């Protein structure tokens, strides 16, 4: 048995690990590379293997950097099964349809005369039909129920506590046991139940996004959110929250609901201005089996939906969204995209960022070169929808909403899994992976620790 690390090796995106067992090939994930448009397109357009020779795919969770090239895999002739949890399957459809729509929009935009640039891609990687074909090849499995893959490996999903449906993958074949974290959440994270360890494994493949960092207490984040809202309300301003549609938005809604119930914020309207986020919130609310004790205690046992409350308004169409631009009343507006690069949040920023009463509240990671990053860095002028505007709004950041576990969680996941001899560290920037590697070496000098470079193959 051998493994080749084809993505999320020496970086955080494009997760793809190919396991070869005799004649059989099993692909762990088929994620999209994200980053600068041209560079990402070059990495994504050609898969680094023959899709027709892959026997099966196992997916840990729905995020695009883990799932985003599945439709391309199918378009290129893959005809096996794609295994995942029911929760992952539920959120995968809207995510991939959105990805196909964004690719089509980008292609249309960059093929226009004004924007045409020969160095830029103008072709989508796949379309709606490819997504639908891929969705028909999904096989779902509940967590902690073992199933056979490609007639050769026994696989069990264990909760990863990262996003809805997320799983760690336990694979047994050729006398070896591999445990792959996918993306690992953390104990005590909002809404979702905690990660679960495998009963035993020889080899751990661990993510390392925050291999060198420690998170703040999550309840402090809620208190800080309350204070920011009260301060902005006192100035008669709006709070604009650029947010990712899946998970982050539901966490913010959950905290707002708790703050309203506790009487810690005034009754101001909350607008959820994103059709995709509305769709995910509805899916999320149906998966009550995924919710933790706190969510049961404060919401479900009181017959309340954690993500729905009196002050919440859903802006389903563009007309609803535009009406918000003319209103001068205090409000909380949650809109995508999370890094302000697309979506309706740009219109809200354009109309409000010059107003000193406004607060722009950043709740997620902002990649380099994005509008969100420029705002966070405190640039005094920014370009929004081709207009230069002055930033007079207050800019606040809440760092406590990460869906990834910190160093403490990553180490605990390994220490508490009996049998580990070898560890591969993936899905992290170099520095984070190295810090985690050094810490693990101190925990147990007996562990063989590798930080694989892209396309490196190892015998297992
Ligand atoms: Zn993820």
For 76-102, the pLDDT digits (tens) are: 999 999 999 999 999 999 999 999 998
Cα(184) to centroid of ligand 1, in Å?
Answer: 8
Cα(353) to centroid of ligand 1, in Å?
Answer: 30
What residue ranges define each of the domains in the chain, with the CATH number in brackets? Answer: 2-213+403-459 (3.60.15.10), 218-397 (3.40.50.10890)
Cα(209) to centroid of ligand 1, in Å?
Answer: 10
- pLDDT in the model for residue 154: 98
Cα(66) to centroid of ligand 1, in Å?
Answer: 7
- pLDDT in the model for residue 246: 93
Work out the average pLDDT over 247-271.
Answer: 96
Question: In the predicted model, what is the mean pLDDT of the chain?
Answer: 94
pLDDT tens, position by position, 304-344: 999 999 999 999 888 889 899 888 899 999 999 899 988 89
**114: pLDDT strictly greater than 90:** no
Cα(384) to centroid of ligand 1, in Å?
Answer: 28
Cα(249) to centroid of ligand 1, in Å?
Answer: 15
Cα(47) to centroid of ligand 1, in Å?
Answer: 21
Q: How confident is the model at residue 356 (pLDDT cuts 50, 70, 90)?
A: very high
- pLDDT in the model for residue 451: 97
Cα(185) to centroid of ligand 1, in Å?
Answer: 9
Cα(260) to centroid of ligand 1, in Å?
Answer: 29
Cα(148) to centroid of ligand 1, in Å?
Answer: 25
- pLDDT in the model for residue 118: 57
Cα(61) to centroid of ligand 1, in Å?
Answer: 7
Cα(235) to centroid of ligand 1, in Å?
Answer: 37
Cα(118) to centroid of ligand 1, in Å?
Answer: 33
**Encoded tokens for 323:** 């009406």
Cα(427) to centroid of ligand 1, in Å?
Answer: 10
pLDDT tens, position by position, 127-152: 999 999 999 999 999 999 999 999 99
């Amino acid at each position: 048995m051998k493994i080749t690390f084809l993505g999320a090796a020496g970086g955080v995106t494009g997760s793809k690990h190919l396991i070869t067992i005799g004649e059989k090939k099993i692909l762990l994930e088929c994620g999209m590379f994200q980053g600068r448009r041209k560079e990402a397109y070059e990495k994504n357009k050609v898969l680094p293997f023959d899709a027709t020779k892959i026997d099966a795919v196992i997916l840990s969770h729905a995020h695009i950097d883990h799932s985003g090239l599945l439709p391309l895999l199918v378009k290129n002739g893959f005809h096996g099964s794609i295994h995942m949890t029911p929760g992952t399957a539920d959120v995968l459809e809207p995510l991939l349809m959105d990805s196909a729509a964004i690719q089509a929009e980008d292609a249309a935009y960059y093929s226009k005369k004004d924007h045409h640039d020969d160095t830029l891609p103008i072709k989508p990687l796949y379309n709606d039909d490819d997504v639908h074909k891929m969705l028909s090849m999904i096989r779902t499995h509940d967590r902690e129920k073992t199933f056979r893959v490609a007639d050769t490996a026994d696989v069990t999903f264990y909760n990863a506590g990262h996003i809805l449906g997320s799983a760690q993958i336990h694979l047994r074949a050729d006398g070896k046991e591999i445990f792959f974290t996918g993306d690992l959440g953390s104990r005590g994270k909002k809404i979702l139940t905690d990660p679960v360890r495998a009963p035993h494994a020889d080899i751990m493949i661990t993510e390392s996004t925050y291999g060198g960092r420690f998170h703040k207490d999550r309840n402090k984040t809620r208190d800080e959110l309350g204070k920011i809202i009260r301060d902005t309300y006192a100035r008669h301003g709006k709070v604009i929250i650029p947010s990712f549609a899946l998970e982050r938005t539901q966490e913010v809604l959950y905290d707002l609901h708790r703050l309203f119930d506790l009487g810690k914020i005034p009754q101001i309207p909350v607008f959820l201005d994103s059709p995709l986020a509305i769709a995910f919130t509805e899916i999320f609310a149906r998966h009550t089996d995924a919710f933790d004790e706190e969510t049961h205690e404060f919401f479900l046992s009181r017959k309340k939906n954690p993500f729905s409350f009196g002050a919440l308004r859903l802006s389903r169409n563009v007309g609803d969204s535009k009406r918000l631009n003319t209103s001068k009343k205090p409000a909380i507006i949650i809109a995508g995209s999370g890094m302000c690069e697309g979506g309706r949040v740009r219109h809200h920023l354009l109309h409000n960022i010059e107003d000193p009463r406004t607060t722009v509240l950043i709740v997620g990671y902002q990649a380099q070169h994005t509008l969100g990053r420029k705002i966070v860095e405190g640039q005094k002028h920014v370009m929004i929808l081709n207009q230069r505007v002055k930033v007079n709004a207050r800019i606040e950041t809440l760092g406590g909403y990460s869906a990834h576990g910190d160093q403490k969680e990553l180490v605990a996941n390994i220490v508490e899994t009996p049998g580990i001899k070898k560890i591969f560290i993936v899905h992290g920037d170099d520095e984070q992976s190295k810090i985690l590697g050094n810490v693990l070496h101190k925990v147990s000098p007996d562990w063989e620790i590798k930080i694989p470079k892209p396309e490196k193959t190892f015998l297992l």
